[in-house]
Amino acid sequence: MRSPVVPEAVSRPTLEAVATRAGVSRATVSRVVNGGYGVRESLAERVRRAVAELGYVPNQAARSLVTKRHDAVAVVIAEPEARVFTDPFFALQLRGISKELTAHDNQLVLLLTEGRDDHTRVARYLAGGHVDGALVFSLHLDDPLPGLIHDAGVPTVFGGRPGWRDRTGTPLYVDTDNRGGARTAVRHLAGLGRTRIAHITGALDQTSAVDRLDGYRDVMAETADGGGDPSLVVESDFTPAGGERAMRELLDRRPDVDAVFAANDLTALGALRVLRERGLRVPEDVAVVGFDDMLPLAEQSDPPLTTVRQDIEQMGRLMARLLLRGASALRDGSTGSGREGTSGPGGGDPAARTPGPGVILPTTLIRRESA
């Protein structure tokens, strides 16, 4: 049986061919193709027609060879666990990144890693100068990859606040306002008159989980109660099963709990299930708030989940924007603009805060029926 894909090594037209056809030099064609400044309009028009007729597309390899640019960005997702693939988080970020890169004519090179071997592979690839920059998701505090990449000298923006301590120079990153969002959630619960508000944490080797826990503590500390009762905090791992386990433990330990702030929606779902199973009503007996606003799950849970929404796609967009922007800033010779720290780099996102090298996106409380 013949191979269904026909090779057709049709040699594609070159600049030279276009030049000949238009009766000009290669240099002129090149100018037109790259913006066309400084070329008489009549000529430019001739060239454009030749390009169209020949179906000319620039050879990116040849171009890169001389410009040392690639118009390509690597997206590195380091996640040994399969969690990445279990929630739409990562897909939404990719979507945002993709849109932004596309808008700037950049390609997205996806690097998925799991395990040590991949680390060196990725580090080498990035150090190899095949892309103009990297967007890196560092999910775990102990992951060595982000550090390796940072050291590789490639312009990089991180997704989520990286958790290093011992390194000099915090890298650029974009993150959700996890701490602020957590505060909002807990304040909402307090505003409902709840006094024994528990927290089921996420995996504490991730900054997002730590930050949400901190936000919870912030509010509990303010509380009249004198807050921060450790028996109200149960460590978990962002999964539904973990949420169930934690909720059971919590109920056993503190049967008087009247509200739960879960580190994410998946966890909240697990908690909801246990609450129902124990015959407790939500929100009457126990109010529940999640985090993420993961659709359609959050909407269709029973009862529909009150939760803290984060705009994940926007996070991706901003990461890409920041990388592209930073790159040009560097090229302009600026030593690191003083403006970047004060105005949002989004250029259209007044709501985003930028403390130091990080861009923090705001959250919104979505009220449904669970609290």
Partner DNA sequence: ATGAAAGCGCTAACAC
Partner DNA sequence: GTGTTAGCGCTTTCAT
Binding partner at 263 among DNA, a copy of itself, none, C-beta below 5 to 8 Å by kind: none
57 sits near a copy of itself (criterion: CB under 8 A): yes
CA–CA distance, 266 with 220 (Å, rounded to integer): 23
52 sits near a copy of itself (criterion: CB under 8 A): no
317 sits near a copy of itself (criterion: CB under 8 A): no
C-beta of 74 vs 185, nearer to a copy of itself: 74
Among residues 23, 144, 255, 336, which is the contact residue for a copy of itself, using CB under 8 A? 336
68 sits near a copy of itself (criterion: CB under 8 A): yes
Encoded tokens for 64: 């890169």
Distances (CA, A) of 209 to 58, 141, 252, 253, 302: 46, 11, 23, 22, 24
C-beta of 56 vs 261, nearer to DNA: 56
Binding partner at 155 among a copy of itself, DNA, none, C-beta below 5 to 8 Å by kind: a copy of itself
Binding site for DNA (CB under 7 A): 11, 14-16, 23-28, 30-31, 33-34, 38-40, 43-44, 56, 58-59, 62-63, 65-67
C-beta of 67 vs 86, nearer to DNA: 67
HSE-CB at 345 with a 13 A cutoff on CA atoms is 32
Cβ atoms 371, 259 nearer than 8 A: yes
Among residues 17, 43, 109, 148, which is the contact residue for a copy of itself, using CB under 8 A? 109
List the interface residues with a copy of itself, window 270-289 (CB under 8 A).
273
Among residues 47, 50, 51, 132, which is the contact residue for a copy of itself, using CB under 8 A? 132
Encoded tokens for 139: 């999910």
The pairs formed by 29-32 with CB atoms below 8 angstroms and a separation of 24 or more are none
Binding partner at 144 among a copy of itself, DNA, none, C-beta below 5 to 8 Å by kind: none
Residue corresponding to tokens 């037109």 = 32
The torsion of the CA quartet 141, 146, 151, 155, rounded to 10 degrees, works out to -130
Backbone torsions φ then ψ of 281, nearest 5 degrees: -90, 140
- Helix 15-22 to helix 41-54 angle (10° resolution) is 120
CA–CA distance, 150 with 171 (Å, rounded to integer): 8
- Helix (H) / strand (E) element for 133: namely strand 133-138
Q: Which among 45-53, 282-290, 292-300, 303-311 is the span making contact with a copy of itself, rule CB under 8 A?
A: 292-300
Binding partner at 71 among DNA, a copy of itself, none, C-beta below 5 to 8 Å by kind: a copy of itself
List the interface residues with a copy of itself, window 238-257 (CB under 8 A).
239-241
Among residues 17, 36, 54, 95, which is the contact residue for a copy of itself, using CB under 8 A? 95
Q: To the nearest whole angstrom, how small is the minimum distance from the Cβ of residue 334 to a copy of itself?
A: 8
The number of beta carbons lying within 10 Å of the beta carbon of residue 176 is 26
